[in-house]
Structure 1
Amino acid sequence: MTTHAHALAERYIASWNETDALRRRSLIEDVYAEHARYTDPMVDAKGWEAIDATVSAVQAMFPGHRFALAGVVDAHHDTLRFQWHLASPGAAEPLVIGFDVASLQEGRIGQVFGFLDKVPQMA
């Protein structure tokens, strides 16, 4: 499970970084179950279309920034958890730090519970 969990988390992060709409949608459909749910303090997205719209909106809020796994992907049974960073290339510190817990359905993500540990102060 650990190797699969890490690979799935890497593809999940890649979907958040993909700016080409067709490639991003393909990644989302590969990573998430069709009726998956993504929730964090700011959004509750259900299904591929809503998740894709959420990713697109985040990219518009933080143009040029990239997501990256931050540490080890921990997994057991059909659940995985991992920390991630969002930063501009070459930045000394990430702008946003988050922690996600995902439950799997038949090898794809069925539910994500996202937590934001560090968020920028908005003016």
Structure 2
Amino acid sequence: MTAIRTLVERYLQSWNETDPLRRRALIEDVYAEHAAYTDPMVEARGWEAIDATIAAVQAMFPGHAFRLAGEVDAHHHLARFRWHLVAPGVAEPLAIGFDVAELEDGRVRRVHGFLDRLPAAA
């Protein structure tokens, strides 16, 4: 389970990395080449689209960070985990959600994102 938790932490790190070159390197390390990310607002396929999605979220919520909220639950080739989107110095998360990741060969192949709470303007 430690390897899966580490992968999930690196996945969240990719969402927090604001330097485009470092973010792209994380994406290529964490996600399978033809990975897909889907949530109620976006469907992204491949490294380019995932990178563009992350950049767009960062532009919408500058200075905010995704944090793991609790333990990672995993079995077979699946992992699920809750996350919070937090602003610096603010205790209450701006957004709350959970993701279910399909894993393959130690990388993320597909993510199904669910949004439990969003800010009113999102």
The TM-score with structure 1 as length reference comes to 0.97
Q: Which runs of 4+ in 1 moved over 4 A?
A: none
Deviation at 1:92, TM superposition (A): 1.9
Aligned to 2:15: 16
Aligned to 1:80: 79
3-state DSSP class of the match of 2:85?
Answer: strand
Q: Can you give the 5+ residue segments of structure 1 that lack an aligned partner in the other structure?
A: none
Asked whether 1:98 is paired with 2:74, we answer no
Deviation at 1:4, TM superposition (A): 0.9
Aligned to 2:68: 69
Deviation at 1:91, TM superposition (A): 0.6
Aligned to 1:49: 48
Alignment of 1:30-49 (within 5 A): 30-49=29-48
Q: Can you give the 5+ residue segments of structure 2 that lack an aligned partner in the other structure?
A: none
Deviation at 1:65, TM superposition (A): 0.4
Root mean square deviation, CA, Å: 0.9
Alignment of 1:109-120 (within 5 A): 109-120=108-119
Q: Deviations over 1:48-89 (max 9, x none)?
A: 000000000000000000110000011101100000000101
Q: How many residues align?
A: 122
Q: Deviations over 1:16-36 (max 9, x none)?
A: 000000000000000000000
